[in-house]
């Protein structure tokens, strides 16, 4: 599974430009599902038919993970071929200086900044630029509107993994692994790999409307409270997949939250409860689709979120896969 995670995290796919990630995922799952389609928004939707089991009512379950990652887009080019840019999604200016970005054709640039007015001045994106090494505009192949993502290699440091774009390629990896495990389910299961989550949960809005699930679970990352002087939060690397109770955008459906907790207990999977004060996930959009959907979230604790070097614990990932397989293999208690 680590090879799968490396493939996904190192692929190019900022919001609105997820095609390379989508093509990779489709190639990995197409022979293991009953139907695969791409909707008008660009979401990849894979369906596995229900296998009836005596005494278990079949439900339509949607599992969602977003394919997009944060990035930047060229907004202006000056006479010396330095590129001004605008963020795609939640980009933190303090993490950018000296970072490398890669464009769709594989070319690389370095983020620099203007001379600060004061030595300790925090950088702002308006005073930054991308240097692609061009001598002048005549030698420049970039143009306004070109997207780029941050480029860092995947690193396996044993129990912990470091990469860019764990938000949310790790969720995609978990869903893919669940598909490859070929769990027999009495439910009709839709594995949905959504687009444009980082710019407003847009793919979740359209895909949930089309799938019309009875129950939905988003798989995404969450923050942690286990680094020095971190914002207090009862989530840590290595303590198991986190089951969301609340975030800034949603309250998890109580029955779905209890279903996740009870399944983790039944299977002996370590878990932790998550209350996130910042951010939200695709579950917010799915929960309010049509007449409403009972929705919850499985989260992977992640240090340094929305930077080019996010860190997760591999055991948490494995626990999330086991939890999903356990959910799909049994009846729903509500």
Residues 91, 72: Cα–Cα separation, whole Å: 8
Interstrand relation of 128-131 and 108-113 (parallel, antiparallel or unpaired) = antiparallel
Residues 159, 163: Cα–Cα separation, whole Å: 14
Catalytic residue among 11, 69, 197, 274: 197
Domain spans of the chain, in order of start? 2-69+164-328, 71-150
Query: What are 1-22's pLDDT values in tens digits?
Result: 999 999 999 999 999 999 999 9
Cβ-in-10-Å burial (0-12, 13-18, 19+) of 104 comes to middle
**Which of 320, 319, 306, 312 minimizes the C-alpha distance to 92?**
306
pLDDT band at residue 136 using 50, 70 and 90 as cut-offs: confident
| Rounded average pLDDT over 203-213 | 97
Contacts of 27 (CB under 8 A, 6+ apart): none
**Which of 239, 216, 214, 213 minimizes the C-alpha distance to 226?**
239
- Report helix, strand or coil for 4: helix
Q: What percent of the chain has pLDDT over 90?
A: 93
Residues 284, 201: Cα–Cα separation, whole Å: 8
Look at residue 122 and tell me whether its pLDDT is greater than 90.
Answer: no
Q: Cα separations (Å) of 93 from 12, 81, 279? A: 21, 21, 18
- Phi and psi at 135, nearest 5°, equal -70, -40
> Distance between alpha carbon 85 and the CA centroid of its chain, in Å?
23
Answer yes or no: 197 catalytic: yes
Token output for 274? 């998550």
Token output for 252? 């998890």
Look at residue 202 and tell me whether its pLDDT is greater than 90.
Answer: yes
Q: What percent of the chain has pLDDT over 70?
A: 100
Query: What pLDDT is stored for residue 117 in this prediction?
Result: 84
| Rounded average pLDDT over 318-324 | 98
Domain 71-150 has CATH 2.40.30.40: yes
**Which of 65, 293, 59, 61 minimizes the C-alpha distance to 190?**
61
Q: Cα separations (Å) of 59 from 75, 214, 254, 293? A: 46, 6, 18, 12
Query: What are 210-222's pLDDT values in tens digits?
Result: 999 999 999 999 9
pLDDT band at residue 135 using 50, 70 and 90 as cut-offs: confident
pLDDT band at residue 40 using 50, 70 and 90 as cut-offs: very high
Average pLDDT, the chain: 96
Query: What pLDDT is stored for residue 289 in this prediction?
Result: 95
Class for the domain spanning 2-69+164-328: alpha beta
Query: What pLDDT is stored for residue 162 in this prediction?
Result: 98
Cβ-in-10-Å burial (0-12, 13-18, 19+) of 105 comes to exposed
């Amino acid at each position: 599974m680590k090879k799968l995670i490396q493939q996904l995290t190192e692929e190019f796919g900022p919001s609105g430009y997820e095609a390379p990630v989508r093509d990779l995922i489709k190639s990995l799952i197409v022979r293991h599902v009953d139907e695969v389609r791409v909707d008008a928004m660009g979401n990849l939707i894979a369906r596995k038919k229900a296998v009836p089991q005596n005494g278990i009512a079949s439900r339509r379950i949607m599992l969602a993970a977003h394919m997009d990652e944060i990035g930047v887009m060229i907004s202006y080019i000056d006479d010396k071929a330095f590129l001004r840019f605008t963020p795609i999604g939640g980009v933190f200016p303090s993490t950018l200086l000296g970072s490398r970005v890669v464009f769709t054709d594989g070319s690389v640039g370095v983020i620099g900044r203007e001379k600060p007015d004061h030595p300790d001045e925090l950088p702002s994106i308006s005073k930054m630029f991308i240097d692609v090494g061009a001598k002048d505009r005549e030698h420049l192949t970039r143009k306004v509107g070109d997207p780029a993502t941050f480029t860092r290699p995947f690193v396996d440091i044993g129990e912990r993994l470091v990469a860019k774009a764990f938000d949310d390629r790790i969720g995609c990896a978990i869903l893919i692994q669940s598909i490859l495990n070929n769990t027999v389910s009495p439910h009709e299961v839709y594995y949905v790999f959504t687009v444009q989550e980082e710019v407003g949960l847009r793919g979740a809005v359209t895909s949930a409307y089309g799938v019309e699930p009875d129950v939905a679970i988003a798989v995404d990352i969450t923050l942690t409270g286990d680094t020095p002087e971190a914002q207090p939060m009862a989530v840590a690397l290595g303590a198991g997949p986190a089951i969301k109770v609340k975030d800034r955008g949603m309250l998890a459906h109580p029955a779905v939250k209890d279903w996740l907790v009870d399944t983790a207990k039944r299977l002996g999977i370590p878990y932790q409860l998550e209350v996130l004060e910042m951010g939200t996930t695709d579950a917010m959009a799915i929960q309010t689709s049509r007449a409403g959907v009972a929705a919850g979230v499985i989260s992977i604790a992640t240090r340094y979120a929305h930077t080019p070097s996010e860190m997760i614990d591999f055991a948490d990932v494995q626990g999330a896969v086991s939890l999903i397989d356990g959910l799909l293999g049994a009846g729903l208690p509500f």
